[in-house]
Amino acid sequence: MNKKTICKAASIVLILLMLTGCSSISENPNESYSVTVYAMDTVMELTVYGNQTILNTAESLIFELDSKLSVTNAESDIYKVNHEGGGTICSEAYELLNQALELCKRTDGALDVSIYPVVEAWGFTTDEYRVPTDDELHELLRSVDHNSVDISKNGRVELAPGMMIDLGSVAKGYTANRLVKLLSENGVKSALLNLGGNVHVLGTKPDGALWKIAVADPAGDGYVGVIEAADKAIVTSGEYERFFEQDGVRYHHIIDPATGHPADNGFLSVTIVGNDGVLCDALSTALFVMGSDKAAEFWKESDDFEAIFIASDEIMVTEGLEDAFSPIGAYNDMKLTILHRD
Residues that bind ligand AMP (CB under 6 A): 111-113, 115, 119, 124-125, 166, 168-169, 237, 241-242, 253-255, 257, 281, 284-285, 289
User: DSSP strand E in the chain: where?
Assistant: 32-39, 42-49, 86-88, 156-158, 191-195, 198-202, 211-216, 223-229, 232-238, 243-246, 249-252, 267-274, 306-311, 314-318, 325-327, 335-339
4 backbone dihedrals φ, ψ, rounded to 5°: -60, -45
Strand pairing report for 335-339 and 314-318: parallel
Q: How far is the CB of 130 from ligand AMP (least distance, A)?
A: 16
Q: How far is the CB of 289 from ligand AMP (least distance, A)?
A: 5
Nearest residue (CB) to ligand AMP, 51 versus 237 = 237
Q: How far is the CB of 209 from ligand AMP (least distance, A)?
A: 29
In the list ligand AMP, Mg ion, none, the entry touching 119 (Cβ below 5 to 8 angstroms by class) is: ligand AMP
Residue of 111, 119, 73, 110 whose CA lies nearest to 93: 73
Count the Cβ atoms, other than its own, within 10 Å of residue 41.
15
In the list Mg ion, ligand AMP, none, the entry touching 166 (Cβ below 5 to 8 angstroms by class) is: ligand AMP
In the list ligand AMP, Mg ion, none, the entry touching 115 (Cβ below 5 to 8 angstroms by class) is: ligand AMP
Is the C-alpha dihedral spanning 302, 303, 304, 310 positive or negative?
positive
In the list ligand AMP, Mg ion, none, the entry touching 112 (Cβ below 5 to 8 angstroms by class) is: ligand AMP
Nearest residue (CB) to ligand AMP, 54 versus 66 = 66
In the list ligand AMP, Mg ion, none, the entry touching 175 (Cβ below 5 to 8 angstroms by class) is: none
Q: How far is the CB of 31 from ligand AMP (least distance, A)?
A: 32
Nearest residue (CB) to ligand AMP, 233 versus 255 = 255
Q: Which residues bind Mg ion (CB under 5 A)?
A: 169, 281, 284-285
Nearest residue (CB) to ligand AMP, 125 versus 302 = 125
Count the Cβ atoms, other than its own, within 10 Å of residue 82.
23
Buried b (16+ CB within 10 A) or exposed e, 92-111: bbbebbebbbebbebbebbb
